[in-house]
Amino acid sequence: MKFFHEKAMPLLVLLGVMAVMVQESKGLPCGSTFFSALVQLIPCRAAVAPFSPVPPTEACCTSIKALGQPCLCTIVNGPPISGVDRNIALELPEKCTANFEPCNSLTPSLIQSFFTLQNRCERTIWPGILSGAGRPQLVNGGLELKQNEKININAPKGWSGRFWARSECSFDRSGKGRCITGDCGGVVQCAGAGGAPPASLAEFTLDSPLDFYDVSLVDGFNIPISIVPSGGSGNCTEVRCLSDLNLLCPSHLQIISNGRIVACKSACMAFNKPEYCCTGDYNDPKKCKPTRYSEVFKAACPTAYSYAYDDATSTFTCDGANYLITFC
């Protein structure tokens, strides 16, 4: 390793030597290694050249989002590379609206888990992220994710929070606008604001002492969502809510936009009655039971929370895993 710190590695030579590795490395996490991370950033060569006026291409931005903050930081903190301006490389996440945390914000010893957000919907979505009280915001709470894109995000030990998808959004260049479902105050980066229900949620509490996670439809449904753990120990159950509940939504619960059902309210949101919200005299699991509305949600997504006291079949644990959150 001493050699790398004494002499810059010519980028073209390195890429030539490693070209045969591209197919094996493409689309895979870097595994915290300098070389495999660099291979994934081949599409960004022109955009990181010294004094380069060339903006990152769509292919470059796709690579940045797929690579994630930890692997980008591996490159920034790795050996010097001839023909690469690291300060420009550090600007790529902002230029690509990836909104990563700074490379010095989380040291490896403080990283608990990696979340991968993947958009399998047939349209662009805007994932929102709300951290629990006292926990750091991840990627400032929101980002754009195009069809088939995915992004890696790291989270510190003890992190808790929720993820959801916003849909039917329109934003101007300053990041202000509006989403028809899951809106968080009319901005791309939610920055501590929650999503307006109805919205399908993926919820996590890490390192407590196990990781607890669930898919919740207590706030209603807008887009199918799944959680798939990897690399952990314990039960580590996959939680998949793949049914499009909008197609099954009772008429009293429907949110309609431009003639289409775009979301399905919870009975609590629709009627605001204690027996649906598990409040007041019904704030007791012995009294607050499933309703004909929550049973529609439960039938479509058996492992998701369908109402507030649906814990027995809806909360899952894993130890030391990474998590793939898939939309649609």
Dihedrals φ, ψ of 273, to 5°? -115, 145
Q: Based on the domain organization, do 26 and 147 belong to the same domain?
A: no
Q: Based on the domain organization, do 45 and 192 belong to the same domain?
A: no
Domain end marker among 95, 122, 146 = 95
Q: Using CA atoms, how far apart are residues 145 and 306, in angstroms rounded to an integer?
A: 27
Q: Based on the domain organization, do 129 and 56 belong to the same domain?
A: no
- Amino acid found at 198: P
Rounded to an integer, the average pLDDT of 135-152 is 92
For the cut 80, the answer to whether the pLDDT of residue 180 exceeds it is yes
Q: Using CA atoms, how far apart are residues 124 and 114, in angstroms rounded to an integer?
A: 22
Higher pLDDT pick, 301 / 49: 301
Half-sphere exposure of 188 (CA within 13 A, CB side): 17
Q: Based on the domain organization, do 117 and 258 belong to the same domain?
A: yes
The answer to whether the peptide bond before residue 209 is cis (omega within 30 degrees of 0) is yes
100 inside domain: no
Q: Which domain does 295 fall in, by range?
A: 110-327
- In terms of C-beta density within 10 A (0-12 exposed, 13-18 middle, 19 or more buried), how is residue 213 classed? buried
Q: Based on the domain organization, do 188 and 308 belong to the same domain?
A: yes
Instruction: Name which of 242, 263, 225, 249 is nearest 297 in CA terms.
Output: 249
Q: How much is the pLDDT for 287? A: 93
Evaluate whether 282 touches 275 at the Cβ level (below 8 Å).
yes
Q: Based on the domain organization, do 22 and 131 belong to the same domain?
A: no
Domain end marker among 71, 95, 119 = 95
Domain end marker among 95, 130, 152 = 95
Q: Based on the domain organization, do 307 and 232 belong to the same domain?
A: yes
116 inside domain: yes
Which neighbouring-strand residues pair with 226? Answer: 240, 326
Share of the chain above pLDDT 70, in %: 77
Number of domains in the chain: 2
104 inside domain: no
Q: What is the pLDDT of residues 19-74, one digit of tens each?
A: 333 333 333 444 445 555 666 677 887 777 665 567 888 888 887 787 777 677 66
Bridge-based pairing of strands 322-327 and 111-119 is: parallel
Q: What is the pLDDT of residues 232-255, one digit of tens each?
A: 999 999 999 999 999 999 999 999
Domain containing residue 16: CATH number = 1.10.110.10
Q: What is the pLDDT of residues 211-239, one digit of tens each?
A: 999 999 999 999 999 999 998 999 999 99
Q: Using CA atoms, how far apart are residues 226 and 206, in angstroms rounded to an integer?
A: 17
Domain containing residue 120: CATH number = 2.60.110.10
Q: Using CA atoms, how far apart are residues 34 and 46, in angstroms rounded to an integer?
A: 19
- In this structure, what token pair is assigned to residue 162? 């929720």
Q: Based on the domain organization, do 43 and 147 belong to the same domain?
A: no
DSSP 3-state of 60? helix
Q: How much is the pLDDT for 134? A: 83
Per DSSP, 183 falls in state -
264 inside domain: yes
Q: Based on the domain organization, do 72 and 186 belong to the same domain?
A: no
103 inside domain: no
Q: Based on the domain organization, do 11 and 142 belong to the same domain?
A: no
